[in-house]
Homo-oligomer: A and B are copies of this chain.
Amino acid sequence: MGAAETRSRILDFAEKLFAAQGFHGTSLREVALAADLRQSLVQYHFKSKFELFRAVYERRALPINHDRMTRLADIEAKAARGNPLDPEEIVRAFVESTVVTARDRKSGGEPYAEIVAQIINDPQDHARKVSREFMDVVAKNTLRVLRAALPDIASDELVWCYVFSIGAMVSAIARTGRVRLLSEGECDPDDVERILSLLVPFITGGMDAVAKSSKARRPALKRKSPARNTEVARPPHALSRRVKV
């Protein structure tokens, strides 16, 4: 067995265990045992528990971030050509890749979804570190495009909306069994199409409603009416590849 295979074996089993038991709930011994390897190999390849965790996270986050950034770039390119920015399309751009990865059995992204779910609201160091490293740049770029598409929402309000949206998304892919329980079996947590067909309008409609109430709260705002939905955020160059891929 080559070194590369050893590494990926460790990553595979660590991912599953972190997903099911959390960071502190998982021991490197367990990981090694599950992967049928010596424990010292884990430290040899990843140095520390956190570094292993980080590597597990990175492996899934990079392709997802790449997809999100590509979609954003496409949307901005379209906008630069004069098409109006469509909020729903932006929402799809930051929601679909994660939800699909989380629920696609072939991609192996199911445990990743659980890890994201555990991390997103966790104040602990290991969680904050990977969140900052892998999620924040993409989030900022998403926010920039959203801001251009929804000029009626104040900048700080939009950040809140984004945070709400991610919260909603993550609760949709968490594997807690809660939807099934609350719906007495009616909801199928694996039905990606259905989840997206509800989540996307939910988020879009939510932002829309906030836009309305926000505009009502401060009606005296500079308006250059009809064309304003077409403008590209700031420098369109900034988008393309600012994120690790």
Contact = CB atoms under 8 A, between A and B. Distances in A.
A114 interface: yes
Contacts of A181: 132, 136
Interface in A187-203: 187, 194-195, 197-199, 201-203
Given A121-B171, A179-B159, A202 B210 contact: yes
A20 B123 contact: yes
B187 A22 contact: no
Interface string A131-147: 11000100110010000
A165 interface: yes
Interface string A200-221: 0111111111101100000000
A118 B127 CA distance: 11
Interface in A54-91: none
A122 interface: yes
A176 B123 contact: yes
Interface string A102-141: 0000000000001001101111100110011000100110
A166 interface: yes
| Residue among A121, A127, A177, A202 facing the most chain B CB atoms (10 A cut-off) | A121
B162 A165 contact: no
A168 interface: yes
Contacts of A161: 198, 202
Contacts of A117: 121-123
B205 A136 contact: no
Interface of A: 19-25, 114, 117-118, 120-124, 127-128, 131-132, 136, 139-140, 143, 155-157, 159-172, 174-179, 181-183, 186-187, 194-195, 197-199, 201-210, 212-213
